[in-house]
Amino acid sequence: MNIFEALRHDHDKQRKLVDALIQTHGDTEQRHTLMDELKTELEQHAKFEERYFYNPLMFDDLTHEKARHSVAEHHEIDELIEQLEDTEMSSSAWLVAAKKLHHLVHHHLSEEEHEVFQLAGKALTEGQKESLAEQYNDAMH
């Protein structure tokens, strides 16, 4: 498995969670559970993706800007999660923020998979792609 396959596997999980989250209604156990799962998944993924994917890309001229942009988007996602945690789950404002998070997560994952992965494929060696996947998966699971 290479780093792209490892990240895409977790991206698919994040898409399912964020899609399910905006289908929930009110201050329900289902909404709390999905929110907790999504928050944990996004936080862990961002931390280890930055360590085992973006960190090496920061040092390559080809990928430096894309890496910085993606890390900045991780921070935007964190801020939206904080906003959701500070908002009453039964309010309409909560769903508005959840839909913003949904949009940002989908945008971010799509951009990574269609732009960053292409450049990273040129910047990383085959050996790096495999060893980074192993390190990332060990940290995530």
| Residue among 10, 3, 22 nearest 104 (CA) | 22
Residue 65 CA: distances (Å) to CA of 43, 46, 71, 97, 106: 22, 17, 10, 28, 20
Spatial CA neighbour of 21 closest among 13, 30, 9: 30
Question: CA–CA separation, 91 vs 112, rounded Å?
Answer: 32
pLDDT, one tens digit per residue, over 115-127 is: 999 999 999 999 9
Across 76-86, average pLDDT: 97
Q: Please check whether residue 53 is in contact with residue 120, taking contact to mean a CB–CB distance below 8 angstroms.
A: yes
Query: Taking residues 2-25, what's their average pLDDT?
Result: 97
pTM: 0.95
What pLDDT digit, counting tens, does each position of 48-68 carry?
Answer: 999 999 999 999 999 999 999
Nearest to 116 by CA among 85, 81, 71: 71
